[in-house]
Structure 1
């Protein structure tokens, strides 16, 4: 067989007859010589495939566009149908106007979720019971409807039920209804107008629940100045102020605390009432924040009336603190009493603290209190000394009171398996 040669730039390249590469090239040359249109067909075939892909892509785009156009047309049709429905409903309401009043009232009652009731047909006990029923089940819709009826027809419930309604409205933050009821009270010369200074404490609490802290405190301050001579009104003002003070410290609002302190100082200066200052002091004193405790210390140092009030109510304060298991507050209160030489108040605080630890059978804490009382020359009550003695005698090992139950159980188990001591028969 003849040798196949291929010209290159460097010369000639010789391919062996049995080489597979040589055979492949030879076949390619023959096919190109015999069928010169084969390569063009392959190119045409590839171009045909590209055209098919392009047409498929165009078809997808057209389908997508057509789909969005159909969706847009549907939305336009829906909006047109809605407008027609509204116009038809308007025509229906106009047609209802031609009906009798009885039928209109029936339709309104069927459509409205509220009570279809005229309170003018109710007696005073019935109105009171109906309002109490809505308050008990927290039916806000019917309750507000009844309040609206009360304002409209100027019919108010009895004082106790009225107070409950006002408190519920203040909890809901319904300032508009409270203003309407205050206006109704003025028109009827209701005693609440004077006693509660146009419902000032309830308005203040509603403003507070709506987030208007400064306006709430200003309303409370004005209401207190107008009705502090009435016992019930004064008590309600104090209760509202206490609620605001407790929630202020719970929310850790420094700005509101400053405003609250200023209002308390102003009320004390104007009316010589230390209660508001005492509320702020107590909430700051029991706080775990150092800044609040510092504010409490400043108030205690500044107001002598506050010092006398706290010393007089030391026993009640301790039980209040210990009721929330705030032993640290009682310890700090004892330190304050010792600094200001309030020995009687300090003795009462130590006695309350002893009762707290004795009820929990904490012998070590009771022993520390007895030791402190002995050093301070503030003896406990005779009954408490007897309780400490009985607690000491009932505990076989007073220095092991802090051991856990697991260790105690192991000790009992070890004792159980100890050999009995040897005993003589005689």
Structure 2
């Protein structure tokens, strides 16, 4: 009995395997001049559903990738699902086959194949970060035809084009595109401010002197024309916290050019100093103190000095505390009594823990809300 049952089950499994292979061939073979139907009765369908997991695989056949990227096999593209297309693009990106990606995007555009938003965003991000504006334009054209609603909602994806141009080295063209986006799409301005901040960071960290001059021009335009001072503050902040003398001088120039920036720096001086000390950037705090003293902002100067003195106390830096005390005496500034008490106690204890020179890390993304 068991032998007979085993024989019957084996026959059913072979039948299911045959059905699965026929259905797979139907998907792969291009449409012919006649139509064929393949129906399953209820009993066969139940068997197939029960055992199909044994024969299905998530691997995407290499032959299908070749078919859908070949210029002579465009008839296979309409049969691919969005998930399959996503796998194709991921595979092509891994292999750096950018020409094939461009051809496939154009084919999807011609066949009105709607890609998932995740796939489109992945391609936009990759080519913008790698400075390939021509590929960004190809993707823009696809979205404009196949998904016009998303195209308009995302501001024609022009921010990707602006980033691609800046990464490529065309800062003037890239920032000009970003400026036009800012003017055209009011609802996306907060988003464009973030893009501007990222571009500023890339420019300063990549040590592009020519780009710095261009960025200086545009941050001043944003501040004067639209009273949007966030890009200006971000630009000043990264120049101020930089270890390069040329960047620091550029930050000083910005303060001389903009009274609004000077007021914001004075108002946020304590926050700036705390952020700098978290990165162990004591030199930046000293420069900020000098700036506040230069512009006679004594109230802000005392507030930052107290933060700096507290930092020295926490690190038990007797020498640093002594220098701040002498500076206060010269300027006639008085520190809070609790800080003075902690300093005296540290002197009495005589336990000087000379801090090791901390390793300075790159500043994290600068975020400021005002």
TM range (shorter): 0.5 to 0.7
Tell me what 1:243 maps to. 198
1:379 to 303, 323, 335: 335
Superposed CA offset, 1:37-82 (max 9, x none)? xxxxxxxxxxxxxxxxxxxxxxxxxxxxxxxxxxxxxxxxxxxxxx
| Residues in 2 aligned to 1:332 and 1:293: alpha-carbon distance in whole angstroms | 9
Q: Is the 8 A contact 1:363 1:392 kept in 2?
A: yes
Tell me what 1:155 maps to. 114
SS at match of 1:198: helix
- Output aligned runs, 1:218-297, within 5 Å: 218-227=176-185, 229-230=186-187, 233-297=188-252
Q: 1:315 to 1:134 in 2, by over 3 A?
A: farther
| Residues in 2 aligned to 1:294 and 1:107: alpha-carbon distance in whole angstroms | 57
- Output aligned runs, 1:119-268, within 5 Å: 122=81, 134=90, 139=94, 141=96, 145=101, 148=105, 151=109, 153-158=112-117, 163=121, 165-187=123-145, 188-191=147-150, 193-195=152-154, 197-227=155-185, 229-230=186-187, 233-268=188-223
- Output aligned runs, 1:37-116, within 5 Å: 101=30, 108-109=63-64
Superposed CA offset, 1:350-373 (max 9, x none)? 233234333433122133334545
| Residues in 1 aligned to 2:320 and 2:213: alpha-carbon distance in whole angstroms | 38
Tell me how large the CA RMSD over aligned residues is. Answer: 4.2
Tell me what 1:320 maps to. 275
Superposed CA offset, 1:254-304 (max 9, x none)? 322221111122222221111222233223333444443333222212211
Q: 1:387 to 1:257 in 2, by over 3 A?
A: same
Tell me what 2:315 maps to. 360
SS at match of 2:156: coil
| Residues in 2 aligned to 1:381 and 1:237: alpha-carbon distance in whole angstroms | 46
- Structure number with higher relative contact order (C-alpha < 8 Å, ≥ 6 residues apart): 2
The structure with the largest alpha-carbon Rg is 1
Q: 1:267 to 1:297 in 2, by over 3 A?
A: same
SS at match of 2:149: coil
Q: 1:371 to 1:340 in 2, by over 3 A?
A: same
Q: Is the 8 A contact 1:151 1:180 kept in 2?
A: no
Q: 1:110 to 1:355 in 2, by over 3 A?
A: same
Q: Is the 8 A contact 2:78 2:113 kept in 1?
A: no
Query: Structure 1 regions of 5+ residues with no counterpart?
Result: 1-99, 405-426
Q: 1:113 to 1:181 in 2, by over 3 A?
A: closer
| Residues in 1 aligned to 2:305 and 2:299: alpha-carbon distance in whole angstroms | 10
Q: CA deviation at 1:236?
A: 3.3
Tell me what 1:69 maps to. none
Q: 1:101 to 1:134 in 2, by over 3 A?
A: closer
Q: 1:403 to 1:254 in 2, by over 3 A?
A: closer
TM-score by length of 1: 0.55
Q: CA deviation at 1:223?
A: 1.8
Q: Is the 8 A contact 1:201 1:220 kept in 2?
A: yes
Q: Is the 8 A contact 2:68 2:77 kept in 1?
A: no
Q: 1:167 to 1:378 in 2, by over 3 A?
A: farther
Tell me what 1:23 maps to. none
Q: Is the 8 A contact 2:159 2:178 kept in 1?
A: yes
Q: CA deviation at 1:306?
A: 0.4
Q: CA deviation at 1:319?
A: 3.1
Q: CA deviation at 1:168?
A: 2.8
Q: Is the 8 A contact 1:314 1:349 kept in 2?
A: yes
Tell me what 2:254 maps to. 299
